[in-house]
Amino acid sequence: MRFYSTNRPDFTVSAEEALFHSMPQDKGLYMPTPLPRLPIEFFERIAGQSLADIGFEVSKALFGDEISVADLETITHQAFTFDTPVIELESGKVGVLELFHGPSLAFKDVGARYMASLMSYFSRQSEQEIHILVATSGDTGGAVAMGFHNVPGVRVSVLYPSGRVSDLQEKQLTTLGGNIQAFEVDGSFDDCQAIVKQAFIDPELNKNLSLSSANSINIFRLIPQGFYYVRAYGQVRHYGKPIVFSTPSGNFGNLSAGVMVQQMGLPITHFVASTNANHIVPTYLQTGSYIPKPSIATISNAMDVGNPSNFVRLSHLYGDDYDNLVQNISGYFYDDDQTRLGMQAIYNQYGYVACPHTAIGIMGIQDYLSECKQDAVGIALATAHPSKFKPLVEEVLGKPVEVPERLSVLSTRTKSSICIPADYEAFRESLLQTVSY
């Protein structure tokens, strides 16, 4: 398995290089090549398999020539200590794939923990400290902070947009201490992402620090996100119907991971890209024009992205062929009022408490299935536990939301962050002050 840059397809690197030097210097993103095809028998026998078992099988197909089978088994079983169950809202028709049973209560735990496991494997012999830079609009930061907290030889800097993440998400980023440093940026997620991307191509900084990404910039954060689509398929294939996934989308890594695993042979019939008022990609799907815009703050903050980093990957997966892409992906978007109404309707109809992102995913699948009149199993990805947005969910549903202990313990801890303007030089200076080399 090699990895090419989307800006220079003839330039390829090894898995280890793509993992640690996550962004090519030509400012592209790495893509795996060739994508192996999984045998149909694999999909026929996965019904009872856990996320860890599936992750192991798919990892073997991807990296079996570079990492031993025994090591891959350790890597995957160390990463996936929780399940991703499908909860059926309407039997054989609509379900949610709950991805929030990991440590940070969000889907990002899957990618962050697999990446952390893989990094420990590759850096076993190395003395050099790895410095992870991560930009977050809410969920990635918490998952990465928890995934790497107190991991020897790793330091993490998390950049987040001030005032634009939920209180509990902010606590996850700012209260761990130790090797985790939060930078509170006076700007948007897009500003945070642009700053970290600039850092990865800053020659001076890279001479002194071994910088790596734990955003979906890093292909190894994104690949494991394909495993839970396979796990979901294993749970609903007995219906013998076409399967459509609705993926709440911000930076479009989650959807790209689904398309990758579909191209490896997973029988997915269609995707729905569901998002909020930041509807850059749904608009592209309608018009063919991709026009990034400054992001708008919404109640589904983790999807507040105005220039989704993975649009280029998505496009590459379809050979940059718009007609090909729109046949496989439909786009739906909802503003905050529609999201609130959707959260209420989902609770009234199914008794299911959904976070605003998950509600958008469920609305997307409901609207797609009713418009296409398709007899399919529709699965919406449930990206975060509703308690991460406790005040909002309680206000919208008018009922108390229980907070799991691993999250509630954070509420009394004291926040610690470094406030910076949305400016690369300011970040660089501040970063260098926090590290001694």
Ligand X SMILES: N[C@@H](CCOP(=O)(O)O)C(=O)O
Q: Which residues bind ligand X (CB under 6 A)?
A: 136-141, 215-216, 250-251, 253, 302, 309
CB burial of residue 116 (10 Å; 0-12, 13-18, 19+): buried
In angstroms, give the least distance from the CB of 385 to ligand X: 13
Nearer to ligand X, 251 or 387 (CB): 251
For residues 263 and 325, give the distance between their C-alpha atoms in angstroms, rounded to a whole number: 13
Nearer to ligand X, 215 or 262 (CB): 215
In angstroms, give the least distance from the CB of 45 to ligand X: 31
In angstroms, give the least distance from the CB of 170 to ligand X: 12
CB burial of residue 120 (10 Å; 0-12, 13-18, 19+): middle
Residue 202's CB is within 10 A of a number of other CB atoms, namely 15
Nearer to ligand X, 136 or 330 (CB): 136
Q: 194 with 23: CB under 8 angstroms?
A: no
Nearer to ligand X, 235 or 383 (CB): 383
What amino acid is encoded at 139 in this protein? D
In angstroms, give the least distance from the CB of 389 to ligand X: 12
Of 197, 167, 156, give the one whose Cα is nearest residue 307: 197
The set of residues, in sequence order, having a beta carbon less than 8 Å from that of 150 and lying 6+ positions away, is: 178, 179
Nearer to ligand X, 98 or 139 (CB): 139
Nearer to ligand X, 264 or 384 (CB): 384
In angstroms, give the least distance from the CB of 135 to ligand X: 6
What amino acid is encoded at 118 in this protein? L
In angstroms, give the least distance from the CB of 90 to ligand X: 28
Phi-psi region of 252 (alpha: psi -120 to 50; beta: other; left: phi over 0): left
Residue 375's CB is within 10 A of a number of other CB atoms, namely 11
Nearer to ligand X, 303 or 403 (CB): 303
In angstroms, give the least distance from the CB of 52 to ligand X: 22
